[in-house]
A = this chain, B = another copy of it.
């Protein structure tokens, strides 16, 4: 895997596979898949959210970017819809009808957003998708309650779906929620520990539970809705998990070196908050002089009184140390490794490269984002 001058990450070794994205007319280009998933899933999502009690509906509409805080309509930017797109594309890859899996796709997106609402409260994160987080606008209680209601909405959508795969999908989604919660617990626990008390394996396991689990579940639900057997469903879960790890690694790289106009978060915010992202922990574990420098920077707790230039300087020094300690390279190589594993899992369940093309396109898309 290499990074070009524009900062685009290229994952080598499978870009020449048949069914690869970007061929005009194939309909497999990731942006097309994402846009078409949005078109299918958004009406279902909005219909569901309209059924929430008014007090919570307002918070949900704000969180999804469909309303401003004052309740006036907003253009809307409810994220990239990667998870719903994975559900629909996995259903198609296993020979199912994506249109029949729309409720499952919407349910996964509802669960994703329930966890975002709650995680932002716990992490005290103030910005999401370029806007103030829900708890900063409506308070902790309303953000917690709206998250609770979105989880319920996701499960009701599956409980009311007459599709024969719905009960198995509901059980799998519920199990995934428990893993997501355990992942968030582990993440909070890691953040409370000192920089020298955290191992890379722990951080990878946490990222798998926090991010990989839901991407895996999304793919698995698509397979369930296609009527796939349990082995195929589990392979699709594995594909999504591994791709999710690659996604998280690249996301962490973008969190350090990305353009805040694209990430929607202030530059260096994660470093300024001493977040133990994967490139940082890899750098800390490298045994290099830069690792010691980084540990020293991370050991100074933020005082809360630094000026913006002081924060930016701290973040820039930390970013430099992560890079010199090899954290950035490690993250990119490890992301490529996870992508290979993902492709291996996928090939087990979907040997036909053409059928697998859409899922590969999505997986490549999330690890090829420019920053």
Contacts and interface: CB of A to CB of B under 8 A. Distances in A.
A53 B182 CA distance: 6
A182 B148 contact: no
A146 B181 contact: yes
A171 to B, nearest CB: 4
Nearest to A176: B152
B184 A171 contact: no
Contact of A118 (B148, B156, B188): B148
A281 B146 CA distance: 27
Given A53-B179, A160-B171, 9 more contacts: A55-B182, A115-B148, A118-B148, A141-B188, A145-B182, A148-B148, A152-B178, A152-B181, A159-B168
Nearest to A183: B53
A151 interface: yes
Given A151-B152, A159-B174, A175-B152, A145 B181 contact: yes
B122 A181 contact: no
A160 B121 CA distance: 31
A241 to B, nearest CB: 16
A260 interface: no
Contacts of A52: 178
A345 interface: no
Given A156-B171, A156-B175, A175-B156, A149 B53 contact: no
A107 to B, nearest CB: 11
Contacts of A170: 155-156, 158-159, 170
28 contacts: A51-B178, A52-B178, A53-B178, A53-B179, A53-B181, A53-B182, A55-B182, A55-B189, A56-B181, A114-B148, A118-B145, A122-B144, A141-B184, A141-B188, A142-B185, A145-B184, A145-B185, A147-B148, A148-B151, A148-B181, A149-B181, A151-B152, A152-B175, A158-B159, A158-B170, A160-B167, A160-B171, A170-B170
A174 B152 contact: yes
A139 to B, nearest CB: 8
Nearest to A182: B53
Contacts of A9: none
Interface in A126-158: 140-142, 144-149, 151-153, 155-156, 158
Given A149-B177, A159-B170, A174-B159, A144 B141 contact: no
